[in-house]
């Protein structure tokens, strides 16, 4: 009986992690797209790539997952430059890229 409960907790945790990862990815894509549109540059590949993930404390003291994403953009259509979006949970922490 204990093994079944433990298995259910593991499956529930994996489902929560997958779901929160999808929400964070969508948020990072939105921030990257908005940054490129407001800077008047071309957002390449219309995607972001997860490059780092770690546990951090939020300002209210709770633990959250900090995810760092990379996206590519071009000012002239020929050169490729990289920008970064850092999220703590679903909140934007840092954005570097097109200015």
Q: pLDDT (tens digit, 9 = 90+) per residue, 61-71?
A: 999 999 999 99
Q: What is the pLDDT of residue 38?
A: 94
Strands 42-57, 91-96: pairing is unpaired
The torsion angles phi and psi of 40, rounded to 5 degrees, stand at 75, 30
Asked if 98 and 36 touch (Cβ cutoff 8 Å), the reply is: yes
3-class secondary structure, 66: strand
Q: Which domain covers residue 26, as residue numbers?
A: 2-96
Alpha-carbon dihedral sign for residues 91, 95, 98, 99: positive
pLDDT digits (tens, 9 = 90+) for 19-57: 999 999 999 999 999 999 999 999 999 899 999 999 999
What single DSSP character describes residue 12?
Answer: H
């Amino acid at each position: 009986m204990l093994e079944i409960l433990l298995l259910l907790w593991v499956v529930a945790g994996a489902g929560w992690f997958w779901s929160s990862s999808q929400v964070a990815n969508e948020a990072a894509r939105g921030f990257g797209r908005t940054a490129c549109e407001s800077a008047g540059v071309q957002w390449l590949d219309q995607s972001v790539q997860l490059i780092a993930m770690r546990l951090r404390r939020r300002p209210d003291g709770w633990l959250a997952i900090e995810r760092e994403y990379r996206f590519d953009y071009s000012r002239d259509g020929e050169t490729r430059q990289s920008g970064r979006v850092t999220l703590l949970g679903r909140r934007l922490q840092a954005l570097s890229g097109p200015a």
